[in-house]
Amino acid sequence: MVRESEIRASEVAVEPPMATDAGLVFIGRIRTPWQSRMEAPRRGRLDGPVCRIEVFEPWVAALEAVAQYNRLEVLYWLHLSRRDLVLQSPANDGRSRGTFSLRSPVRPNPIGTSIVQLISIEGAILSVRGLDCLDGTPLLDLKPDRTIFEPIAPPQVGDFQTDGG
Amino acid sequence: MVRESEIRASEVAVEPPMATDAGLVFIGRIRTPWQSRMEAPRRGRLDGPVCRIEVFEPWVAALEAVAQYNRLEVLYWLHLSRRDLVLQSPANDGRSRGTFSLRSPVRPNPIGTSIVQLISIEGAILSVRGLDCLDGTPLLDLKPDRTIFEPIAPPQVGDFQTDGG
């Protein structure tokens, strides 16, 4: 079962530095069927329930041309996650693993990334499939899936580098 | 050519809200061959130059078990990017597109995500290929590529939902 926010046997917490190196602005809110971590999927599926992403002003104009991509990368803020664990026990079985070897929501900067199928955009509302986050999760960013996006800017020197630098 | 930080013809800026909804901690630093936006690749390539990711304390312990994944998702803070454009002109040709339809570093929350090939981990240093960011870019997170990661936590109800919710 997914944790609420307790520390489990074999997990290790650290005293984290203040999270003041940069600041985020919540640009929208995500609506999903999941009200609790006890029911949310461990990861999204592209045939999962339709979820809604509401984009706030002044960012709605930035949705222009998004509809031409049928898969988007969504970044969101896992607002209920603790941030201080370096070793975690996902199965709560006494065995632990490094946080960076997991896709757990518990991490120093709890940013979730999902790939979603875009169903429609109406005004400031996107309908998508593929999310796994809780209802009410703050939105951080939307961008085309890397595998279907072609850069529009002219080529740069670095585009062609393939060796030691 | 990639922008420094000017606004181009046909681009639209907004007055952004204060970026104080959540705070980030820089957990490391990325070393790449690129000192300027005029030379960095528009996107990483898995046969690109070897780059180094230095993880800071107290997070080094969280690297445990990372070496078993040969592809990682890396999140970083695009510290030189402006954050106020809703329409951008990547080709600087008078035509503009919505920010969320682009993978430009210029966005309300300038978080870069890359998929990298992991070459080695020695102590707090990862050697990887596939990055496109500037030398000195602050690190936000590391996690296994979603396509090779299998959840360890026991199944949840939401894992099996495929309809309207």
Q: How many CB pairs under 8 A join A and B?
A: 291
Interchain CB distance below 8 Å, A26 and B23: no
Interchain CB distance below 8 Å, B103 and A146: yes
Query: What are the tens digits of pLDDT across the range A44-97?
Result: 999 999 999 999 999 999 999 999 999 999 999 999 999 999 999 999 999 999
How far from each other are the two terminal CA atoms of chain A, in whole angstroms?
Answer: 45
Q: What is the pTM of this model?
A: 0.96
Mean pLDDT by 10 residues, chain B (165 residues): 83 96 98 93 92 98 98 97 97 96 97 98 98 97 96 89 70
- Choose the closest CB to B24 out of A21, A132, A155: A21
Select from A27, A98, A103, A104 the least CA-distant residue to A62: A27
Contacts 24+ apart (CB under 8 A), A152-155: A152/B90, A152/B91, A152/B97, A152/B102, A153/B1, A153/B2, A153/B42, A153/B90, A153/B91, A153/B104, A154/B1, A154/B91, A155/B42
Interchain CB distance below 8 Å, A100 and B146: no
- Choose the closest CB to B50 out of A12, A149, A164: A164
> Phi, psi (5° rounding) for residue B67?
-65, -15
CB B141 within 8 A of CB B42: no
Interchain CB distance below 8 Å, A43 and B142: no
pLDDT value for B1:
56
pLDDT value for B165:
45
Give the chain A residue nearest B31 (alpha carbons).
Answer: A165
Burial of A124 (0-12, 13-18, 19+ CB in 10 A): middle
In sequence order, the 6+-apart residues with CB closer than 8 A to the CB of B85 are A62, B7, B11, B12, B13, B14, B99, B106
Q: What is the ipTM of this complex?
A: 0.95
| SS3 label, residue B86 | strand
- Written as six digits, the tokens of A139 are 């939105």
Query: What are the tens digits of pLDDT across the range B74-115?
Result: 999 999 999 999 999 999 999 999 999 999 999 999 999 999
- Chain B residues with CB under 8 Å of A104 CB are 153
